[in-house]
């Protein structure tokens, strides 16, 4: 099968909420040497975003969105293993990463973490729906260099501002670098709230994290 056929089958598996097919496509693609990051970005991720569009227009409903997300997660688990096996491990820095409070979207965060790990950045994943206090405490406990937050809802991105404000209030702002991401975030938003970096996708998150750590 060609690379573009894998891409369209990956999209189709997510849109059809077909978990078994998604896992099979991921495994087959890996066996044929398809780049797992490429397949995630161009295939599975496009499929889940397309599902989001359909959901936004009322053409599919929440149960289908949940099934599509589970399909995406099953494929991501297979591809993540391959991504980790291909990566290096020497530690360049530590990052604490969380999906902000009130937000359960963690697929994109998972992809970002997967790529950061391959570049020698140790990531402490705090999970999703994580309160600001817990994020700050984890950053202190783990002596983190960077705090990364993911937010997918136009309401929950406010928690990224809360983090900045709280770091300032506790005189900790200069102790950590901060990075924000997630669909509603922009460079403008990062500038507005005073975050050190914004990344649009996982590849850019790696570039920005390495820059923040002083490894260009
Ligand atoms: Co929800 N959801 N969802 N959802 N969901 C969106 C975000 C939405 C845009 C869909 C829509 O209506 N079109 C909409 C938000 C609208 C808005 O805020 N204005 C929405 C809604 C409304 C909701 C609910 C409120 C629905 C409901 O209950 N009625 C509810 C909210 C729950 C909550 O969080 N409190 C909800 C629930 C869910 C599911 C549970 C079903 C599921 C999430 C499952 C999971 O993640 N475990 C889900 C999904 C799957 C989506 C969409 C379809 C896909 C998100 C995704 O995984 N994208 C989404 C539509 C969309 O995004 N277009 C949608 C693929 C992923 C690879 O991309 O997450 O953007 P992304 O991550 C990218 C970049 O953003 C970046 O790199 C990643 C990899 O390239 N990035 C970072 C992300 N984090 C980063 C951090 C960084 C750097 C880069 O540094 C720290």
Give residue-wise pLDDT tens across range 4-39. 999 999 999 999 999 999 999 999 999 999 999 899
User: Residue 126, Cβ neighbours under 10 Å: how many?
Assistant: 22
Q: Which residues pair with 94 in a beta bridge?
A: 122
pLDDT, residue 86, reads 76
Domain boundary among the residues 57, 86, 115 is at 86
pLDDT, residue 112, reads 94
Q: Look-up: residue for tokens 């020698």?
A: 120
Cα atoms in the 13 Å half-sphere on the side-chain side of 84: 13
Q: What is the pLDDT of residues 48-68, one digit of tens each?
A: 999 999 999 999 999 999 999
pLDDT, residue 85, reads 82
Collect contacts of 57-63 with beta carbons under 8 A, ≥24 apart.
none
Q: Which residues contact 130 (CB under 8 A, 6 or more apart)?
A: 98, 99, 100, 101
Domain boundary among the residues 86, 121, 140 is at 86
Q: Look-up: residue for tokens 């060609």?
A: 2
pLDDT, residue 114, reads 87
Q: Are residues 195 and 121 in the same domain?
A: yes
What count of residues does the chain have? 216
pLDDT, residue 185, reads 98
Q: Are residues 26 and 131 in the same domain?
A: no
pLDDT, residue 83, reads 86
- In the reported structure, the alpha carbon of residue 133 is separated from the centroid of ligand 1 by a whole-number distance in angstroms of 23
Q: Are residues 208 and 128 in the same domain?
A: yes
Q: Are residues 13 and 36 in the same domain?
A: yes
pLDDT, residue 1, reads 87
User: Residue 115, Cβ neighbours under 10 Å: how many?
Assistant: 23
pLDDT, residue 90, reads 65
Atom from ligand 1 closest to the CA of residue 156: 18
Atom from ligand 1 closest to the CA of residue 66: 41
Pick out the chain residues at pLDDT < 70.
Answer: 87-90, 216
Domain boundary among the residues 52, 86, 120 is at 86
Nearest to 13 by CA among 3, 22, 1: 22
Domain that holds residue 209: 93-213
Cα atoms in the 13 Å half-sphere on the side-chain side of 25: 27
Which residue's CA lies nearest to atom 59 of ligand 1?
Answer: 52
Sheet with 146-150, strands from edge to edge, namely 119-125, 88-99, 146-150, 177-181, 197-198
CATH no. for residue 15? 1.10.1240.10
Ligand 1 lining (C-beta closer than 6 Å):
45, 48-49, 51-52, 55-56, 62, 65-66, 69, 102-109, 111-112, 148-150, 152-154, 179-183, 199, 201-202, 205
Q: Are residues 97 and 123 in the same domain?
A: yes
């Amino acid at each position: 099968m060609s690379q573009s056929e894998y891409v369209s089958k990956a999209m189709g598996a997510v849109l059809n909420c077909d978990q078994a097919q998604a896992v099979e496509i991921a495994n087959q693609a890996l066996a044929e040497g398809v780049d797992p990051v490429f397949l995630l970005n161009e295939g599975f991720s496009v499929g889940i975003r397309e599902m989001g569009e359909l959901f936004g227009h009322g053409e599919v409903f929440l149960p289908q969105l949940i099934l599509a997300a589970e399909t995406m997660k099953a494929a991501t688990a297979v591809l993540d293993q391959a991504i980790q096996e291909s990566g290096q491990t020497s530690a360049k820095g530590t990052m604490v990463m969380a999906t902000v409070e009130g937000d359960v979207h963690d697929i994109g965060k998972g992809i970002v973490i997967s790529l950061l790990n391959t570049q020698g950045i140790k990531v402490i994943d705090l999970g999703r729906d994580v309160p600001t206090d817990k994020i700050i405490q984890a950053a202190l406990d783990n002596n983190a260099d960077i705090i990364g937050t993911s937010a997918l809802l136009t309401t929950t991105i406010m928690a990224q501002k809360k983090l900045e404000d709280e770091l300032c209030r506790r005189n900790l702002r200069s102790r950590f670098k901060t990075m924000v991401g997630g669909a509603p975030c922009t460079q403008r938003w990062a500038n507005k709230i005073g975050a050190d970096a914004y990344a649009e996708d996982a590849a850019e998150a790696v570039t920005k994290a390495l820059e923040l750590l002083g490894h260009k």
